[in-house]
C-alpha cells in the first residue's frame, strides 16, 4: 500500500485488507450468535458507503437472511422544517421482523438519527445497528449502536466503499487523510559498477538530498567492527546479499536519522521485492513515497572492466576477483532486476543510458528528477 492522491488531497494507508476481513467476519459471527435460532433477519445496507462492507458481511453471516439497500437523500423542505432527509428504496414490509442496519461509518450520528426516525414507525420486532467504523470523539447522540467493528480517531478516511468527493470507494484497504508529501525520494538503480555512487554524489548536492548507500553503511560497520558489520561481512565478502531483515532494519534506522530531509537517494536498496515492499510501507506510514526508480543501464562487459579497475584502488574485496563480480551480477539479474517490474507497475521506472561522461549522465538523471 502506498499513499493515494484523490482530487487535491493525500491519504496514507491506515487499515490493511486482512484486518478489515477479520473485523467484518467477527461482526458477522457476533450478530449471528445473538439472533434466536431460525430467525431470518432483514439486513438493510445504507448506500453508498456500505456496499463493500455489506457484501462481505452478508457472505460471512452464514445464515438465511433478506437483504435490501436504501439511500438517504436530502431535499429542501419547507422553510420551517429546513433540510429534511428522505429515504429511497424502502418498500419492504418490516412488521414484526428483525431489522439490522448495516452502516460503513458512524461519526456525528446525524445519519443514524434520520434512520431511526424513519424506522421507528415500521413496527419492527427489533431494530439493530451494525457499524464497521465508529468515531467516539464526535458522536453526539444517545442512540444505541449494537455492534461496532472498530473505533477510530476523528480523521477523514477513504477506501473500502468510503469516498472523498466520489473517489476512493474502490480500494480494498482504508486510507487516512494525510499531509502532502514533503520529500522527493528516488531509488538509484543499476548493476554493480554502473556509477550509482558517483551520480548520487552530484544529485545530493544539486537537490539537497540525503544519500543512503546500504553498501557504504555496511562497509562503515565492517570497518568499525560493529555487530552489524560482523554479521554482514561474511555475505558481502562472497558477493551475496545480506539477509533482508538485517538490511531493512538498518535502512530504517538511517532514514530515521534524517527526519527533516528534502528526500533520499536510495542506492543499493531495495534489492529484493520484500525490501521494496518494506520501503513502501515504511514511507507511506509517514505520508511519503518513492517518486521514481532511476536506473543506470550499462552493458555487463563494460561493468567488469570498470569494477576491476576500481578494485585496484578501492580496497573493496568484492571488486578484485572476476568470479565474485560475476556472482554480484548474477544476484543482480536474478533477484534485483525483479524490482524493475515492481516500479514499472507503478509507472515509476525510468531507464537512463549509463554509458557516457559523468556530466552527461548526471544531466540525463536531472532531467528525469525535474519532472517528478
Ligand atoms: P554495493 O556497495 O551496493 O555494491 O553493496 C555491496 C554489498 O553489500 C552487496 O553485495 C551485499 O552483500 C551488501 N548489500 C548492500 N545493499 C544490500 C541490500 N539492499 N540487501 C542486501 N545486501 C546488500
Which residue's CA is minimally distant from atom 19 of ligand 1? Answer: 269
- pLDDT for residue 323: 87
CB 222 within 8 A of CB 233: yes
Which residue's CA is minimally distant from atom 14 of ligand 1? Answer: 215
Ligand 1 atom nearest to CA at 216: 2
- pLDDT for residue 154: 96
C-beta 271 within 6 A of ligand 1 = yes
CATH 3.30.43.10 fits 4-178, yes or no: no
* Annotated domain spans of the chain: 4-178, 186-369
C-beta 241 within 6 A of ligand 1 = yes
Separation between Cα atoms, residue 276 and residue 244, nearest integer Å? 10
pLDDT of 118 higher than 80: yes
C-beta 242 within 6 A of ligand 1 = yes
CA of 316 to the centre of ligand 1 (A): 12
Which residue's CA is minimally distant from atom 8 of ligand 1? Answer: 215
pLDDT of 80 higher than 50: no
Which residue's CA is minimally distant from atom 12 of ligand 1? Answer: 236
369 closest CA partner among 254, 202, 212, 217: 202
Average pLDDT over residues 331-351: 89
CA of 268 to the centre of ligand 1 (A): 6
Which residues are CB-neighbours of 307 under 8 A, at least 6 positions away?
192, 193, 319, 325
Which residue's CA is minimally distant from atom 1 of ligand 1? Answer: 215
C-beta 328 within 6 A of ligand 1 = yes
Mean pLDDT of the chain: 92
- pLDDT for residue 143: 92
CA of 231 to the centre of ligand 1 (A): 13
C-beta 251 within 6 A of ligand 1 = no
pLDDT of 125 higher than 50: yes
Which residue's CA is minimally distant from atom 15 of ligand 1? Answer: 215
- The helix-helix angle for 358-369 and 196-207 (nearest 10°) equals 50
Ligand 1 atom nearest to CA at 328: 10
Backbone φ/ψ region at 51: left (φ over 0), alpha (ψ -120 to 50), beta: alpha
**Rg of the chain over all Cα atoms, to the nearest angstrom:** 28
Domains 4-178 and 186-369 share a fold: yes
pLDDT of 82 higher than 60: no
- pLDDT for residue 320: 81
Residue % of the chain over a pLDDT of 90: 77
Residue % of the chain over a pLDDT of 70: 97
Question: What's the chain's length in residues?
Answer: 372
Strongest mean pLDDT among 74-83, 90-99, 311-320 = 90-99
- pLDDT for residue 341: 93
C-beta 269 within 6 A of ligand 1 = yes
* Residue 5, all three cell numbers: 492522491
C-beta 275 within 6 A of ligand 1 = yes
pLDDT of 1 higher than 90: no
Question: Which of the four pLDDT bands, split at 50, 70 and 90, describes residue 314?
Answer: confident
CA of 304 to the centre of ligand 1 (A): 17
pLDDT of 274 higher than 50: yes
CA of 368 to the centre of ligand 1 (A): 25
- pLDDT for residue 265: 98
- pLDDT for residue 312: 87
Q: HSE of 321 in the Cβ direction (CA atoms, 13 Å)?
A: 9
- pLDDT for residue 333: 84
- pLDDT for residue 337: 77
Which residues are CB-neighbours of 151 under 8 A, at least 6 positions away?
133, 134, 135, 136
- pLDDT for residue 335: 75
- pLDDT for residue 84: 65
CA of 213 to the centre of ligand 1 (A): 9
- The pLDDT tens digits of the residues spanning 134-159 come to 999 999 999 999 999 999 999 999 99
- pLDDT for residue 76: 55
Average pLDDT over residues 76-98: 73
Average pLDDT over residues 298-310: 90
- pLDDT for residue 75: 62
Average pLDDT over residues 4-32: 97
103 closest CA partner among 30, 28, 23, 45: 45
Residues serving a catalytic function are 196, 271, 310, 316, 328
- pLDDT for residue 83: 64
User: Which of 61-70, 110-119, 260-269, 282-291 has the weakest average pLDDT?
Assistant: 110-119
Q: Which CATH class is domain 186-369?
A: alpha beta
Amino acid at each position: 500500500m502506498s499513499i493515494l492522491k484523490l482530487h487535491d488531497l493525500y491519504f496514507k494507508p491506515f487499515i490493511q485488507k486482512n484486518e478489515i476481513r477479520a473485523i467484518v467476519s467477527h461482526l458477522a459471527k457476533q450478530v449471528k450468535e445473538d439472533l434466536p435460532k431460525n430467525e431470518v433477519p432483514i439486513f438493510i445496507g445504507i448506500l453508498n458507503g456500505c456496499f463493500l462492507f455489506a457484501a462481505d458481511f452478508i457472505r460471512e453471516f452464514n445464515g438465511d437472511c433478506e437483504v435490501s439497500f436504501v439511500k438517504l437523500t436530502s431535499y429542501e423542505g419547507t422553510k420551517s422544517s429546513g433540510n429534511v432527509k428522505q429515504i429511497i428504496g424502502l418498500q419492504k414490509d418490516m412488521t414484526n421482523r428483525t431489522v439490522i442496519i448495516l452502516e460503513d461509518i458512524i461519526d456525528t450520528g446525524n445519519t443514524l438519527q434520520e434512520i431511526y426516525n424513519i424506522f421507528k414507525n415500521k413496527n419492527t420486532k427489533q431494530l439493530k445497528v451494525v457499524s464497521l467504523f465508529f468515531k467516539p470523539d464526535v458522536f453526539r447522540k444517545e442512540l444505541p449502536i449494537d455492534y461496532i467493528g472498530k473505533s477510530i480517531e476523528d480523521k477523514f478516511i477513504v477506501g473500502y466503499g468510503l469516498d472523498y468527493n466520489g473517489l476512493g470507494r474502490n480500494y480494498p484497504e482504508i486510507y487516512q487523510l494525510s499531509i502532502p508529501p514533503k520529500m522527493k525520494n528516488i531509488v538509484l538503480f543499476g548493476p554493480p559498477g554502473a556509477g550509482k555512487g558517483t551520480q548520487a554524489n552530484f544529485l545530493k548536492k544539486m537537490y539537497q538530498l540525503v544519500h543512503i548507500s546500504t553498501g557504504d553503511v555496511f562497509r562503515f560497520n565492517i570497518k568499525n567492527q560493529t555487530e552489524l558489520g560482523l554479521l554482514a561481512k561474511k555475505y558481502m565478502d562472497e558477493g551475496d546479499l545480506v539477509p533482508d531483515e538485517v538490511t531493512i532494519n538498518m535502512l530504517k534506522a538511517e532514514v530515521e536519522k534524517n527526519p527533516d530531509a528534502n528526500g533520499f537517494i536510495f542506492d543499493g536498496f531495495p534489492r529484493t521485492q520484500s525490501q521494496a515492499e518494506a520501503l513502501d510501507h515504511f514511507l507511506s506510514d509517514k505520508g511519503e513515497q518513492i517518486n521514481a526508480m532511476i536506473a543506470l543501464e550499462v552493458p555487463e562487459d563494460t561493468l567488469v572492466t570498470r569494477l576491476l579497475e576500481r578494485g585496484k584502488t578501492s580496497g573493496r574485496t568484492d571488486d578484485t576477483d572476476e568470479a565474485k563480480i560475476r556472482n554480484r551480477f548474477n544476484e543482480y539479474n536474478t533477484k534485483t532486476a525483479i524490482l524493475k517490474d515492481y516500479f514499472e507497475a507503478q509507472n515509476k521506472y525510468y531507464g537512463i543510458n549509463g554509458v557516457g561522461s559523468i556530466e552527461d549522465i548526471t544531466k540525463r538523471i536531472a532531467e528525469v528528477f525535474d519532472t517528478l
